Amino acid sequence: MKEPRTILYIDDDAGLRRLVDKLLSRRGHTVVTAEDGAAGVAKAREGNFDIIAVDHYMPGMDGLQTLAALRELPDCPPVVYVTGSEESQIAVAALKAGAYEYVVKTIGDDFVDLLEQAFTLALARVRLEREKREAEDKLKAANERLEALLREVNHRVANSLQLVSTFVHMQARGLDNAGAREALEDTQRRIDAIAQVHRKLYASGDVEQVAMDEYLAAIVEELQETWSTPTAPRSIQLRAEPLQLHPDKAVSLGVIVNELVSNACKYAYDPAVPGEIRVELSRANDQQFSLLVEDDGCGIKDGDAPKGSGLGSKLVLAMAKSLAATLDYDKAHTGVRARVVAAI
């Protein structure tokens, strides 16, 4: 220990107390001694010590009891435990009970040298622990600021996308051309599917993961309101496990669901015939998820030309590629059954 310290030394051996006091005082330290555990705890409660040394064998309270009492004090300084030469089990017990270091008691000046070295190690450990806590606190504060910033960004992106969606909707209502109006309405639903991710990230405490069951439920609810009408009733059923995905993957999956469900609502059934579309998200295994979208409608025959503009099918392929996913259509199914499997 290079800088002077205020030390409390607790030991029932009067001769050793005097030796420790004399030698450490010569080295510039301030030493206070106590003859037993109770006196030591009382002095520790009243004094302002940098470090404390406690001997194991003492009348009344032994060293472990004294250590326990010291540890209950507010802002207890680090404690170095003093043991006999063959008492490794006691030293281990003391370390488990909260001692920072231990010293084997010997006769003469060597013991004081070892004691001072133990003080140096204990205080260095205390300093490292304090620096570690400070660094962790700074990192936590920085992460909290970053998360707050990301939530604000998601909030603004969601608002901006909502504004764009409103513009597209207004533009669509002003068109006389049915095909152009339908194309803009499809674009609006795609924008809304992306905006839902940012709404979820803003509302959630986790800005790095999207709860897919909640996200898909919001998309399905909007699609249900859009496509189920008295003249063309549609029922969209969702079963989704509570998977967490990165926002980029969530966006791609949301666009796929939007396109497949919208195509099924538009083309799988005759307009006046009730139709059901089922969406299921589940774990395929520990590393992958599986998305299933199916209907019981007219299906797709080999060689059939795409219905509508074909943009929806292209978007599904593009989003599946962005997920590095496999996209399969079950040809044996009566209607259309599409399955997407990708890494979580």
Q: Do domains 6-136 and 209-344 have the same CATH topology?
A: no
- Quick check: 298 and 343 in contact, CB under 8 A? no
pLDDT at 303: 65
Report the alpha-carbon distance of residue 236 to residue 13 in Å, rounded. 84
β-strands 244-245, 210-211 pairing: antiparallel
Strand ranges in 204-307 using DSSP code E only, listed in sequence order? 210-211, 234-240, 244-245, 275-283, 288-295
Where does 61-108 have alpha helices with state H?
63-71, 88-96
* Counts of helices then strands in the chain (DSSP H, E): 9, 12
Q: Give the number of other CB atoms < 10 A from CB of residue 113.
A: 13
Q: Three-state SS for 325?
A: coil
pLDDT at 19: 92
pLDDT at 87: 74
Fold observed for domain 6-136: Rossmann fold (3.40.50)
Q: Please state the φ and ψ torsions of residue 191, each to the nearest 5 degrees.
A: -65, -40
pLDDT at 2: 63
Fold observed for domain 209-344: Heat Shock Protein 90 (3.30.565)
pLDDT digits (tens), the chain, 344 positions: 468 899 999 999 999 999 999 999 999 999 999 999 999 999 999 888 999 999 999 988 999 999 999 999 998 999 999 988 667 888 889 999 999 999 998 877 889 999 999 999 999 999 999 999 999 999 988 887 877 777 777 778 778 878 888 888 888 888 888 888 888 888 888 888 888 877 777 667 666 888 899 989 989 998 998 888 888 899 999 999 999 999 889 989 999 999 999 999 989 998 888 999 999 999 999 999 999 999 999 888 776 666 766 788 889 999 999 999 999 999 889 899 999 999 99
Instruction: Provide the Cα torsion 331, 238, 266, 308; round to 10°.
Output: -60
Q: Which two tokens stand for residue 246?
A: 């990165």
Query: ∠203-206-211 over CA atoms, to 5°?
Result: 75
Report the alpha-carbon distance of residue 108 to residue 21 in Å, rounded. 13
Q: Is 28 left (phi over 0), alpha (psi -120 to 50) or beta?
A: left
Give the domain ranges of the chain: 6-136, 209-344
Q: Three-state SS for 55?
A: strand
